[in-house]
Amino acid sequence: MSNDPLLNVKNLKVTFNTPKGEVNAVRGVSFSLGRERLGIVGESGSGKSQTGRAILGLTAANGRITADELKFHDVDLANLTPKQWRKVRGARISMIMQDPKYSLNPVMTIGDQIIEAYREHHKVNAREARHRAIDMLEAVKIRDPERVFNSYPHEVSGGMGQRVMIAMMLIPEPELIIADEPTSALDVTVQLQVMAILDDLVRDRGMALIFISHDLHLVSSFCDRVLVMYQGHVVEELAASALHEAKHPYTKGLLNCLPKMDGDQSDLPILEREASWAEG
Amino acid sequence: MSAVTRKNRDGRKRARLISGKAGSLLRIVFSLAITFFGLLLVTFLIGRVLPIDPVLAAVGDRAPQDVYDRVREEMGLNLPLWQQFFIYISNVVQGDFGQSVLTANPVIEDIKRVFPATLELATLATFIGVVLGIPAGVFAAINKGKWPDHVVRVIGLAGYSMPIFWLGLMGLLVFYMKLDWVAGPGRLDAFYIDFIEPTTGLMLIDTLIEGDMDLFWNAVSHIILPASILAYFSLAYIARMTRSFMLEQLSQEYILTARVKGISEHRIIWRHALGNVMVPLVTVIALSYANLLEGSVLTEIIFAWPGLGLYITNSLLNADMNAVLGGTVVVGAVFIGVNMLSDVLYRLLDPRARR
C-alpha cells in the first residue's frame, strides 16, 4: 500500500436549500485516502451518502458543496467544468449504487449499459467492447454471461443485478470506487457473496474503495479503516481491526446494539444520544 | 454447465416464446372482436332509439300509407330488434352500411372518399405535433423554471385555449390572403381537381404516384395550413406531457448511474431518459392521433376539407341515419385500431411489458 494520498478531503460541507430552510447534511468532514479500503458508517441522515456523492460532484441541484480542499491526485474536484467531470466520473472515480432495481435503466439491455460505460472512456470498436463486457460479467461470477448480456434488468435477480452494477462500474478501471450501501437492498444470503466479489476485484486491480454502510461489522470485515459519522460529523476514526477500542459513546452504542449469539440478553440496549455529539 | 442442458434450456425457451406469441395474438384478436361487437351493438341501439324515422326520411312525409308500409318492410324495420341487429351485423361485416339518403351512394363508398382526406390531415398534423412537441417538452423539462420552460408553457397554454375556428380564420387571413404563402381552402386548386385519379385517396401520395410535381406541391400548399393548425393543438398536448414525463424520469436513480459513468448529458437525456419517456408517451400520442382521425369538424368546415367530420355532421343534420351509423362505426374501428397499434408499440418500447 503506497502512502501518497489518492483523495484529500478537508472540511467538506454540503448544504441543501429546502423550502423549510437550510439543511446541513455534511458539516466539516476531513479525511485522506490512499490505495486502501475505507469504511464510512453511520445511521440514515448522518451524511455518509452525501459525502460520497459530493466527491463525484453529484449533489442534487439545490445543494451546495464547500471544502477547504477536495482533491483527487492533483485534480481539484471543487472546480471542475462539466466536461472535466466527465473525464473523472467513471474513468477515475466510480460509484456502486444501492438498489439495482432502480439504478439500472429498465429499457436498455444489460450488455448495452456495460458497453456504454466502457466505450465512454476507451476508444474501441463494438466487437472488442462486447468481448470486454462478457469477460467482465464472467469476472463478477455470472455463470451464463452471454444470456445476461442480452437480458434486461428486470429479468435478473437482485444479487445478479448488483453484480452487473459492479461489472459496469469497474469495467473502465477506475482508481477509486465508492460503494454506497451496495448490499442493503439484497437478501442476507447473497449480501456476503456480492461483497466478496467486489472485494476480490478491488484488491486484484489495486483500486481504492470507500464503502458506505450502516452495518459496522460488515464494514469492519471488508475495510482497513472506518470513519464513524453522526449528524454530518466524523465522530471517530478507527482501524477496522480495533473496533473494540472505540472510545466515542456513539460508536460504542452502535456496537452494543447488535444482538449476541451467546449469553442471555432479553433486552437490546437503546442508544442514549447526547446533544454534544453533534458538535463534533 | 454442460452443453446438453444449455441446449435443452434454449429449446424450451424458444418453445415458450412461440406459444407466447401465438397466444397473445389470439388474445388480441379475441379482445378486438369483443370490442367491435360492443361498438356495433351500441351504435345499432342508438340508431334505433333516436327519435328519427328512417322510413320517413326516405319516402318523405307526403307518401301514402301503403308506400310507407312497403318501404318499412323493405328496410326490415318490421322485424324483431334482435333479428334486425343480426342482419345489421352480417351486413357490416361484409362492408355494407346501407345507402346514404343524402348522397344516394352506398355509405361505404362515401366513407372511402372522405376518410382518406381526414387520414391525411390527421397523420400530417400528428407528425408535426410529435416532431416539434417532443423536443419542446424535453427542452422545457431540462430548463425547468427558466425562460425556455416558460416560453414552451405559454405557447402550449395558448394552443389549448385559442378556439380553432378563430385560429383557422386568422391563419387564412394572414398566410393565404395577406402573405399568399399557402393555398386556400380545399385539397387542390379547383383547376386541378379532375386531374387526379384517387388511387389511395391521399392527395400527397396520389400526386406522387402520378409523378406530377406541380400537383404535389399544390396539394402540399393546401394541406399545410390546416395541418399546422391541428398540429398546434396536438403539439401543445404532447409537449406538456413530454415535459412532465421527462421531469419524472430525470429524478430516477438510473439517471444518477448514467452520470456516474461519465456519459454526456446529451446522451443521458435523449437515450436514457427519453427511452423511458417514450413508453407512456406512445399512449398519449396515439390518443391524440385517434382524436384527430375522428375528423375535426370546425377545421374541415373552415378549410372546406371534405373529411369524415364534415360528412358525419352533414348526415346527422339531415337525419341520414345509415351514414351516421356507418361513420360512427368507422370512427370506433379507428379508435380500436390505433389503440392496438399503441399496445404493440408499448411492447416494443418497454421490455417489461413483453410476456
For residue B272, give the nearest of A91, A95, A105 by CB distance: A105
Contact B262 A116 (CB under 8 A): no
Mean pLDDT to the nearest integer, A130-159? 93
Measured between beta carbons, the chain B residues lying within 8 angstroms of A154 are: 351-352
Beta bridge partners of A178: A95, A210
**Chain A residues in contact with B269 (beta carbon < 8 A):** none
Task: Tell me what pLDDT residue B1 has.
Answer: 40
**Contact status of A261 with chain B (Cβ, < 8 Å):** no
Whole-number pLDDT of residue B19: 53
- pLDDT of A213 strictly over 70: yes
Q: What share of chain B in percent tops pLDDT 70?
A: 93
Q: Annotate B128-150 with b (16+ C-beta within 10 A) or e (fewer).
A: bbbebbbebbbbbbbeeeeeebe
A89/B262 touch (CB, cutoff 8 Å), yes or no: yes
The percent of residues above 90 in pLDDT, for chain B, comes to 29
Q: What is the pLDDT of residue B278?
A: 94
Domain membership of residue A1 (yes or no) is no
Interface predicted TM-score (ipTM) of this complex, two decimals: 0.90
Range in A162-171, B191-200, B329-338 with the lowest mean pLDDT: B191-200
Mean pLDDT of A227-244: 88
* pLDDT reading at B59 higher than 80: no
Touching check for A152 and chain B: CB below 8 Å?
yes
Is there a domain that residue A79 lies in?
A: yes
Between A280 and A101, name the one with better pLDDT: A101
Smallest CA–CA distance from A117 into chain B, residue = B261
Q: Structural domain tally of chain A?
A: 1
pLDDT of residue A263: 65
Mean pLDDT to the nearest integer, A231-255: 86
Q: What is the pLDDT of residues B227-272, one digit of tens each?
A: 999 999 899 999 999 999 999 999 999 999 999 999 999 999 999 9
Predicted confidence (pLDDT) at residue B8 exceeds the cutoff of 60 = no
Weakest-pLDDT range from A24-33, A180-189, B271-280 = A180-189
In a domain, A2, yes or no: no
Residue of A nearest to B267 (CA): A116
So what's the pLDDT on residue A268?
67
Determine, for residues A99 and B276 on separate chains, whether the beta-carbon distance falls below 8 Å. Answer: no
Number of cross-chain residue pairs from A and B with Cβ atoms under 8 Å apart: 78
Q: Is pLDDT at A280 greater than 70 in this prediction?
A: no
Whether B264 and chain A come into contact, CB under 8 Å, resolves to yes
CB spacing of A94 vs B253 below 8 angstroms:
no
pLDDT at A265: 64
Is 80 exceeded by the pLDDT of residue A20? yes
What's the mean pLDDT in B312-318? 88
Residues 6+ apart with CB under 8 A from A93: A55, A56, A72, A174, A175, A176, A177, A178
CATH for A245: 3.40.50.300
User: A272 or A118, which is more confident?
Assistant: A118
| pLDDT for residue A2 is more than 50 | no
In a domain, A168, yes or no: yes
pLDDT exceeds cutoff 90 at B294: no
Lowest-pLDDT choice from A15-29, B174-188, B296-310: B174-188
Confidence label for A187 from pLDDT (cuts 50, 70 and 90): confident
In this model, does residue A262 exceed pLDDT 80?
Answer: no
| Calculated CA dihedral for residues A112, A114, A117, A119, nearest 10 degrees | -60
How do residues B240-250 score in pLDDT, each as one tens digit? Answer: 999 999 999 99
Q: Please, is A206 exposed, middle or buried when counting C-beta atoms within 10 Å of its C-beta (0-12, 13-18, 19+)? A: exposed
Structural domain includes residue A249: yes
Residue A242: which domain range? 7-260+268-279
What distance in Å separates the CA atoms of residue B181 and residue B226, rounded to the nearest whole number?
13
pLDDT at B281: 95
Nearest CB neighbour to A120, from listed B263, B265, B352 = B263
Residues of A in contact with B261 (CB under 8 A): 89-90, 94, 116-117, 120, 168-169, 172
Structure confidence at residue B2 (pLDDT): 46
At B20, the pLDDT band (50, 70, 90 cuts) reads low
pTM attached to this predicted model: 0.84
Closest-approach residue (CA) in chain A for B13:
A147
Residue A207: is its pLDDT beyond 50? Answer: yes
Per CB-CB distance under 8 Å, the chain A contacts of B260 are 56, 58, 89-90, 94-95, 97, 169
In this model, does residue A8 exceed pLDDT 50?
yes
Which position has the higher pLDDT, B280 or B209? B280
